[in-house]
Structure 1
Amino acid sequence: MTQRFDAIIVGAGQAGPALAGRLTAAGRKVAVVERHLFGGTCVNTGCTPTKTMVASAQAAHLARRGEDFGFSAGNVAVDLARVKARKDGVVSNSRRGIEGWLGGMDGCTVFRGHARFTSPTTISVGEQLLEAPQIFLNVGGRAAFPPMPGLDKVEVLTNTGILGLDVLPRHLVVVGGSYIGLEFGQMFRRFGCEVTIVEKGSRLIGREDEDVSKAVEGILLNEGIKLRLDAECIHFAPHPDGIAVGVDCTSGEREVIGSHVLLAVGRRPNTDDLGLEAAGVAVDPRGYIIVDDQLRTNVPGIWALGDCNGRGAFTHTAYNDFEIVAANLLDDDPRRVSDRTECYALYIDPPLGRVGMSEKAVRASGRKALIGMRPMTRVSRAIEKGDTQGFIKILVDAKTQQFLGASILGVGGDEVVHGILDLIYAKAPASVLQRSVPIHPNVSELLPTVVGELKPLE
């Protein structure tokens, strides 16, 4: 027997529950299908658990630096089982909140199981068949396993598996020098592990400007993390002491022996087992569902939101996908994906906040621009906190005087950068920020000064 609904939402990540709330409030009968854990990547294996553990790592790091602040904490030893228990508690509370919200939502029926298309308007969940004129896919993504020699002969960790550890690794080898790898690398170094980061490229976080990459490398090296860059021909093999990671670098040993290996070399969408071919939904060569500027697929009545559409890989972009869909369907408000400005953070400590265009992207655009920079060594708040690593960099269009982007690496950088983001959305000229009067002492109070020192980007 087919059960009929006004809408079916597949996946209870960041976009799904919020969309269910809006649709049911509008009088729609909604089915939500979730095959695993409510809350998606963010709540279960992404933002919530990792930032909880980052906080534990930062506390341990500061305790070890007690002498710098006038006290002694003695020998600081991390009990990973207790760190894990704290993380698990935060995650379970968040997950239960989402599950309870959906379970008590009037007009919403929750189905647990694996959803597969049987036609453009019908989905099977086990023995049950659901039908609706509107279907929204919010199925997220998972760690990618690219073909690498020997990978099938060893057991490696992903961002999910490493969260389950309750005993500290002796030596964690992180393969991948981007956001996930760097956050876990610094975290476990601060927990007391030996850490080596292996990166195929010539520098870490290759999408960032070179000065950002170099500054991040310095932060990690200062904490005793070993870096192996230009690591071509990465391969794996079992070893009596764990796992041998073979690298062909321009310098250093050709093999790194780790007790544990974290593979952090990218993500892939959870679209390969949805039966998309039965609905005729088009995907790109990497498996991401192709959507237009309003997140509609090529099949009328089917939308894709969140990580599975390749239009963003963050919790905030997934939630904004919900806002775009809801605005277009329910509010007669034609919002578009292309209206949003790229923004994200790298949660090492100190963090990197990024909005808009990088310096490299501005140069590639050929436009005339202005640039302002200030090292954190000249920021009072950073000096007072005992962490002067990093810098502030702001880019402004020379003609319009509107902000193009910013990179803020340093104390509070992940929060401070939102001041620039807000002004980008407001299309406000740089003079607005320059004439503002921020609170002292804060990192944000330096932004007007940086703007006042803008120079042509040459």
Structure 2
Amino acid sequence: MQLPARAGWRMTDGRWQMAEADGRWRRFALMAASLMATPTRRFCHLPSAIRHLPSAIRHPSRHPRSRHCAQRDKLHAMERFDVVVIGGGTAGLVTASGCARLGRKVAMIERERLGGDCLWTGCVPTKALVASAKLAHQMRHADRFGLERAEPCITPKSVMDAMRETRRDISRHDDPQKFRALGIDVIEGNARLVSRNEVEVNGRRLAARDIVIATGSRTSVPPVEGLKERGYLDHASFLEQDEFPSSILILGGGYIGIEFAQLFARFGAKVTVVEMLDEIINKEDAEVIARVRQTLEREDIEILTGWAVKSVSASSTRVENKKGESREIATQNIFVASGRHGNTENLGLEDAGVKVERSYVVADRFLQTSVPRIWACGDVHGGLQFTHVAAYEAVKLVRNMLFPGKSAIDYSNVPWALYTDPEVAHLGLTESQAREQHGDAVRTYRVDLHDVDRAVVDRAYQGLIKLVCDAKGNILGAHVMAPNASTLIEEIVLARRKKMKVSELAQRISAYPSLSDGIQKAASLYYQDMAKSWLGSLGKRIAAWSQ
């Protein structure tokens, strides 16, 4: 029998010799070779054409090795997976477990510890410290509750050890064995893409139909003269320490910087916040920003907005404002919280053709990168860098990878939260953004916590609840500054997601006394607004007529 020339075989000196073959014929040859090794009673049922394949296929061991054999060995040596996930933070963990539960063969590669920034250097440990700082503050103001004030005895190492114990307790949820039990191959090491569908780690080569980049982000250090020589802290390095600074300058007035400003101040430090923009936490509603600033300044935190750090020396930091005025600020430490940087180095992304801009992987609204079947999830693509967003994106990603069609990411109902005391949370548009988009049709319904009985009895009335709506009562945005605001905002998230109007929010029944009652109070102001309109006048006439 003679195979076509493209099959990779040629007759030389009366013998079949192996030549280069395309992928389809190579697979056919390998299949035929494996069939030749089956018992004769099964082999005898094969078509005679296969039984008369050249000897080099039927008995490869009798013939010299060739490039085809080397390629075949490489094929056997490579480990095959349906999905390879690079990064074991929230995005990677949710993606890997979701795919595994749907029957996919999954490998997950993490260079450090499962859990990522959120568990080890972000959300979990910092909120544990926020809780300790809050208690210290309450002790200093115990007279509000009819108790004697007491200055807390703060031992930094004890506070940090308590934080680490809390972190250790929560880390059990991200135990590698939990994911191995799902059938996931959890690999510790540095991953690198060697092609569009191959990843190398610890000398192993993994081939996958889909590759997910979920390597997160880290602190971006600004190019300030003398900063690296002087040394600095960030949210990660501070957590490794057992001492609190006596004074500190915080570079950046965003969410991380403002949370740490209050935390450091409550642990006894003199704090100065330097922010280049005109306002701190500038994504929040103007009314909320003013209240947060007032709260921090009441705790003796100095806030310099419109100022930039120009240089750092061993003893002080020089800052300058837009007018060219400068100041020298002497502090024990500098804390950098001025931005984030994607963890995209040494992954082989450029070699694989994955587009990267300003340290972040470029991904579309389906989380697809510039290379088909390579995806980006979580902080690494530079979107909203929240743990809850990473988890949301991972669920979307599993759907887009494993099922027909695609579902786009929608951030319109994502809640934002600032974990100061009191907390701040928002959803959707600020009042100014709403007025830019909807003009005079915007309505705001606002309740001060002084008018929410639960806040008064808890002595926690420094805040507000504000709903931003259009003329038809559609909820455009919501802003809460209150204890547990990150939890309170959730009922508004659900209402907006279900396209409920503010009138429906007003009709729900809240337990009394509760902070949730404040949301019902704010929503009920809609009816007071309606009473002043023609509809209210008509209602009054109908009520009078019916009597």
Q: Is TM more than 0.5 here?
A: yes
Query: Could you tell me whether the CA contact under 8 Å between 2:212 and 2:376 is conserved in 1?
Result: yes
- Tell whether 2:493 aligns with 1:421: yes
- Cα distance in 2, alignment partners of residues 138 and 43 from structure 1: 15
Q: Does 1:207 align with 2:207?
A: no
Pairwise CA distance, 1:212: 1.6
SS at match of 2:510: coil
The answer to whether residue 146 in structure 2 is matched with residue 70 in structure 1 is: yes
1:372 aligned residue: 445
Q: Within 1, Cα distance between the matches of 2:176 and 2:125?
A: 20
Residue identity matched to 1:376? L
1:92 — aligned with what? 168
Correspondence for 1:27: 103
Task: Provide the secondary structure at the position in 2 that maps to 1:124.
Answer: strand
Unaligned 5+ segments in structure 2 are 1-76, 531-547
CA drift of 1:272 comes to 2.5
**1:279 shift after superposition:** 1.2
- For 2:339, the equivalent position in structure 1 comes to 266
Cα distance in 2 for residues equivalent to 1:106 and 1:405: 40
Offset of 1:338 from its aligned partner? 2.2
Contact 1:21–1:105 under 8 Å retained in 2: no
1:353 equivalent in alignment to 2:425: yes
1:350 Cα deviation (Å)?
0.1
Corresponding residue for residue 236 of structure 1: 312
Structure 2 distance, partners of 1:427, 1:139, is 35
Aligned equivalent of 1:388, options 452, 457, 461: 461
Q: Quick one: which of 374, 392, 410 aligns to 2:482?
A: 410
Give the one of 219, 232, 245 matched to 1:156. 232
For residue 189 of structure 1, what is the amino acid of its counterpart? A
Instruction: After TM superposition, give the deviation of residue 25 of structure 1 in Å.
Output: 2.2
Structure 1 range deviating more: 361-370 or 428-437? 361-370
Using the alignment, how far apart are the partners of 2:111 and 2:412 within structure 1? 30
- Following superposition, the deviation at residue 252 of structure 1 comes to 9.2
Q: What is the count of residue pairs matched by the alignment?
A: 450
Is 1:196 aligned to 2:272, yes or no? yes
| Cα deviation 1:277-299 (Å, max 9, x = unaligned) | 11111123x22212222211121
Partner amino acid, structure 1, of 2:379: D
Whole-angstrom CA distance in 1 between matches of 2:462 and 2:325: 27
2:408 pairs with 336, 339, 350, which one? 336
The higher relative CO (CA closer than 8 Å, separation ≥ 6) is in 1
User: Is the alpha carbon distance of 1:106 and 1:371 closer, same or farther for their aligned partners in structure 2, counting shifts above 3 Å?
Assistant: closer
Q: 2:246 aligns with which of 152, 170, 176?
A: 170
Q: Distance in 2 between matches of 1:357 and 1:407?
A: 9
Counterpart of 1:248, as a letter, is E
Shift of 1:86: 1.2
Deviations 1:179-225 (A, max 9, x none): 00111110111111111111122221122232221111101011111
Relative to structure 2, which stretch is displaced further, 246-255 or 442-451? 246-255
Deviation at 1:58, TM superposition (A): 0.7
**2:292 equivalent to 1:219:** no
Letter in 2 for 1:200: M
Map of 2:361 onto structure 1:
289
User: Is 1:311 the counterpart of 2:367 in the alignment?
Assistant: no
Indicate the residue corresponding to 2:208 in structure 1: 132
- Using structure 1 for the length normalisation, give the TM-score: 0.93
Q: Quick one: which amino acid aligns to residue 304 of structure 1?
A: A
Contact 1:438 1:445 in 2 (8 A): yes
Answer whether contact 1:115 1:125 (CA < 8 A) is retained. yes
The corresponding residue for 1:443 is 515
Q: Structure 1 or 2: larger helix share?
A: 2
Q: Which moved more, 1:222-231 or 1:301-310?
A: 222-231
Conserved? CA contact 2:449–2:518, under 8 Å? no
2:254 pairs with 1:182:
no
Alignment check: 8 A CA contact 2:86 2:213 kept: yes
- The code of the aligned residue for 2:134 comes to Q
Aligned-residue Cα RMSD (Å) equals: 2.0
Structure 1 residue matching 2:235: 3-state secondary structure: coil
Q: How does 1:101-140 map to 2 (within 5 A)?
A: 101-140=177-216
**Residues 376, 390 of structure 1: 8 Å contact kept:** yes
Change (3 A) 1:253 1:74: farther
Report the 3-state secondary structure (helix = DSSP H, G, I; strand = E; otherwise coil) of the residue aligned with 1:366.
helix
- After superposition, the C-alpha distances for 1:339-360 in whole angstroms (9 at most, x for unaligned) are 6523110000001011111112
Deviating more after overlay: 70-79 vs 435-444: 70-79
CA distance in 1, matches of 2:121, 2:405: 33
Measured after TM superposition, the shift of residue 69 of structure 1 is 1.0
Q: Confirm or deny: 8 A CA contact 1:77 1:192 kept in the other structure.
A: no
Q: Is the 8 A contact 2:252 2:336 kept in 1?
A: yes
Matches of 2:393 and 2:204 in 1, distance apart? 28
Q: Which residue of structure 2 aligns with residue 298 of structure 1?
A: 370
Identical residues among aligned pairs (%): 31
Q: Does the 8 Å contact 1:17/1:102 carry over to 2?
A: no
Which of 325-334 and 181-190 deviates more? Answer: 325-334
